[in-house]
Structure 1
Amino acid sequence: MDRSCHVEKILKFCVTSLCTAANFRCVLLSFRDKYPFGDYISYSNVTFTLKEVKHLWRQNRCLTKFKKHLTMRIDDFQKPTRTDVLCSNWREWEQPIIWFQNTTDAVAAQFFLKNVHPEMREAASDLFGRPANLQYRANVFGEIMRILISPSIDVENAVSWALSGGSDPDIVLHMRMMMNRSVRAMQAAVDCLRKALLNLPILSKPKIVLVSDTPSMVKNIAITLEEFAEVVHFNYKKFEGNISGNSKSSIMNFRTKDWGPAPRWVAFVDFFLASRAKHTVISGAHRRVGTTYAQLIAALAAAYRLDESSSLNSSITFPSSFQSPLLSEGLKRQIGWGHVWNRFAGPLSCRGQPSQCALTPILPPAWFVQFAE
């Protein structure tokens, strides 16, 4: 699909459909009068707060045109008796705004893709691509992020500081270790990175960005990589800028094992730094490989690198690095509705393999598998 055509479809569905409620539904999240993470993310002028939506509804006389009040339908995924998104045709709902409560994008998108009504699935395929062909699955979230968000000035300055004003990285390695120091995970990731380099143009010294929730992992793996590459890592302790502002997220100290010891704002700098990858985004982990964070980095990087003058896909590849303990029982731990390796985690998956460097789709295959009728 032509990129400009697909972007137009995304915007038509998610932005300009406000006053065409008879034909489309726009799934919105209530931001009230302000956007989330405003200290770290800048939003384009094609986004709306709910307050602005109310104003546009009145200004464009949507009530008169469509005989519909601006009301919101709330579907609570934690209470199955209060949701019927899978079995209902959304176009027949009276409410022009749908709020999916207590869920994630990964789950909510699947109820769109797996709806029992053919016309709903057809509309979903227009946005997400055809399920049978990996090459025709549109980079929906990457394109949405490219259009709607960008780093704030302070975050952009931090990214430039990390790169020392130099060129974008060739490869990004994201390691979600949860304070674990697995030598096997590190070695598998290094091997995967070396394989990725073989597929790149000959570089005298490739630039590699390291992102991890575990500082000791960054330090240990950097020693190995510096033998053949320029290694970049955002060291927030040495950064003299002030990004945290007054946000409470900057002082949260709970879930350190899960999220790491760094302030929450560092994750935004790492995200936008990593999304500048020119060729490859590699995901490694102690347990779950191909995290949502890594997927979104790869998606945004792919959107940035897509050549608009060419019919070819983006040059970004997204390998997952698996060490042998994760493969011994056939990806047993790679589970979850939105997880990219979910469909390969059952009893039929291959066991006892050595480390793997597996090319990974940006949109998980499990999203497209229909429920049994």
Structure 2
Amino acid sequence: MYKMLTAAALSVMLNRSLIIGQTRGKYPFGDYVSYSNLSFTLKEVKHLWRQHGCLTKYGRHLVMRIDDFQKPARTNVLCSNWREWDQPIIWFQNTTDAVAAQFFLKNIHSEMRKTASNLFGVPENLELRPNVFGELMRVLISPSENVERAVNWALNDGADPDIALHMRMLMNGSVRAVQAALGCIRRAVKNLQLISKPKVVLVSDTPSTVKDIARNLAEFAEVLRFDYERYGNISGEMYKLNNVNFRVKDWGPAPRWVAFVDFFLASRAKHAVISGANRRVGTTYAQLIAALAAANRLEENSSTLPSITFLSSFHSNLLSDGLRFQVGWGHIWNRFAGQLSCHNQRNQCAFTPLLPPAWWDGLWQSPLPRDIRRMEAYGIRLSGFGTFNDDRLNSFCRSRKNVVVTVPLI
């Protein structure tokens, strides 16, 4: 999903149309996600190029320039002014999280930095940054009819849930993680000051975790979850996925389509989204749930902040050595995992930014040694506190070979 959202963010920054690729005539996750008509397909662009005689009348070839974010020695994300590129199509490859698009915040060209800042805000003000990816999702995607029907079935055609909890457990039955999440839910419920029993929707890759939490929540909340075995299969095509064991530990035993039902169900939360885990908190899946939930609740033409609270539930074992276990490059708390993270804390229910940080400019942010090494390849020599020298980046960009990879389409 972040690949498409990064392309959408880039289209805003560069004032270009968004093109979403298709495979054999289908959009990404096209069986489960519907797309708005605000973008083009490559097939449509080729048709328009020929229809208007761009090549025959004006001698203009349809060329696509490719930039691979995960190849630091070749990417131009920090060293080039993309607004000056004259290729009709740009493909920013391998952008699997919220980080890649925000690299433009440190681009050596002031025009690119300003454009990125206009979209993403100032990196150090985490609480005040806009919900960029949530707003993009809200206008670009929606659940397919089958998925929407499953979501409504889970809600029993009733009101949306007050709180959504996502537990990333990787088939681990950690009691500490469950207890920490329950404490976080109680805190959220207390802050809401609801008159009636709150509705809490549970999403997890580990069925036993859902059952454990549901039993404890039943005392003070109405528990919702999508029971795909009861619901049955959405379509014959999805039925084939039921017995696939691909990455069961990573995704859980449920069919892959269930993750989309869970996603759109959880994003209906009205007040809070909570991310808990046995090890890594604030994964991309939880980020996108919270972002879409917040976007769904933001009133049109309103300047107020989203009414959704995004919380991260940490159990004490994850905090014994600070946040060093939050090693995922795209996980929200990775940028706080370095030497400034506090050790030996008790369970935490931490307020979490809707837009994951990509840099280390904020208070208490510091990089892990592995991230310092990784950034070195991009030309940035981070200190242990996350600062770096602009002059060195400029020198790196001047000395490197300018890589231009293009593919002719017409």
State the AA in 1 paired with 2:90. Answer: I
| 1:26-45 correspondence runs (5 A) | 28-31=19-22, 33-45=25-37
8 Å CA contact 2:103–2:358 kept in 1: the answer is no
The question of 1:108 aligning with 2:100 is answered yes
Match of 1:6 in 2: none
Match of 2:139 in 1: 147
Match of 2:333 in 1: 341
Q: What's the CA shift for 1:78?
A: 4.1
Match of 1:265 in 2: 257
Match of 1:178 in 2: 170
Shift of the 298–61 alpha-carbon distance from structure 1 to 2, 3 Å rule, reads farther
SS of match in other structure, 2:136: helix
The question of 1:279 aligning with 2:271 is answered yes
Mapped partners of 1:12, 1:257: distance in 2 = 32
Shift of the 39–137 alpha-carbon distance from structure 1 to 2, 3 Å rule, reads same
Mapped partners of 2:58, 2:187: distance in 1 = 57
* 1:103-161: CA deviation from partner (whole Å, max 9, x where unpaired): 42423213322211111011111211222333441111111111011101110110011
Q: What's the CA shift for 1:53?
A: 2.1
Mapped partners of 1:25, 1:149: distance in 2 = 19
Shift of the 166–76 alpha-carbon distance from structure 1 to 2, 3 Å rule, reads same
Mapped partners of 1:150, 1:268: distance in 2 = 11
Q: TM-score, normalised by structure 1?
A: 0.88
Instruction: List alignment gaps of at least 5 residues for structure 1.
Output: 1-9, 18-22
* 1:7-65: CA deviation from partner (whole Å, max 9, x where unpaired): xxx989638x9xxxxx6455655325431111111111112211112233445666699
| 1:235-274 correspondence runs (5 A) | 235-243=227-235, 245=237, 252-274=244-266
State the AA in 1 paired with 2:22. Answer: F
Q: What's the CA shift for 1:362?
A: 1.1
The question of 1:166 aligning with 2:182 is answered no
Shift of the 80–90 alpha-carbon distance from structure 1 to 2, 3 Å rule, reads same
Q: What's the CA shift for 1:327?
A: 0.4
Match of 1:70 in 2: 62
Mapped partners of 1:65, 1:112: distance in 2 = 36
Q: What's the CA shift for 1:208?
A: 0.4
Q: From 8, 11, 15, give the equivalent of 1:14.
A: 11
State the AA in 2 paired with 1:141. Answer: F
Q: What's the CA shift for 1:97?
A: 1.7
Match of 1:20 in 2: none
Match of 1:296 in 2: 288
Mapped partners of 1:220, 1:246: distance in 2 = 28
The question of 1:321 aligning with 2:303 is answered no
Q: What's the CA shift for 1:256?
A: 0.7
8 Å CA contact 2:127–2:353 kept in 1: the answer is no
Q: From 104, 111, 118, give the equivalent of 1:119.
A: 111
Match of 2:203 in 1: 211
Mapped partners of 1:263, 1:271: distance in 2 = 13
8 Å CA contact 1:179–1:257 kept in 2: the answer is yes
Shift of the 230–57 alpha-carbon distance from structure 1 to 2, 3 Å rule, reads same
Greater CA deviation, 149-158 or 363-372?
363-372
Q: From 139, 148, 151, give the equivalent of 1:156.
A: 148
Q: What's the CA shift for 1:249?
A: 5.8
Shift of the 371–203 alpha-carbon distance from structure 1 to 2, 3 Å rule, reads farther
Mapped partners of 1:53, 1:89: distance in 2 = 24
Mapped partners of 1:309, 1:90: distance in 2 = 31
Mapped partners of 1:249, 1:98: distance in 2 = 34
Q: TM-score, normalised by structure 2?
A: 0.80
Mapped partners of 1:313, 1:65: distance in 2 = 50
Match of 2:404 in 1: none
Taking only the aligned residue pairs, the percentage that are identical comes to 68
Q: What's the CA shift for 1:235?
A: 0.7
Q: What's the CA shift for 1:84?
A: 2.1
| 1:78-97 correspondence runs (5 A) | 78-97=70-89
Instruction: List alignment gaps of at least 5 residues for structure 2.
Output: 1-6, 362-386, 391-410
Mapped partners of 2:107, 2:235: distance in 1 = 42
8 Å CA contact 1:85–1:115 kept in 2: the answer is yes
8 Å CA contact 2:238–2:257 kept in 1: the answer is no
Greater CA deviation, 26-35 or 301-310?
26-35
State the AA in 2 paired with 1:304. Answer: N
Mapped partners of 2:37, 2:75: distance in 1 = 32
* 1:195-230: CA deviation from partner (whole Å, max 9, x where unpaired): 111111323211000000000000111000001110
Q: From 179, 190, 193, give the equivalent of 2:185.
A: 193
Mapped partners of 1:80, 1:237: distance in 2 = 45
Greater CA deviation, 326-335 or 268-277?
326-335
Equivalenced residues, count: 358
Q: What's the CA shift for 1:185?
A: 0.5
Q: What's the CA shift for 1:241?
A: 4.1
Q: What's the CA shift for 1:265?
A: 0.2
8 Å CA contact 1:76–1:101 kept in 2: the answer is yes
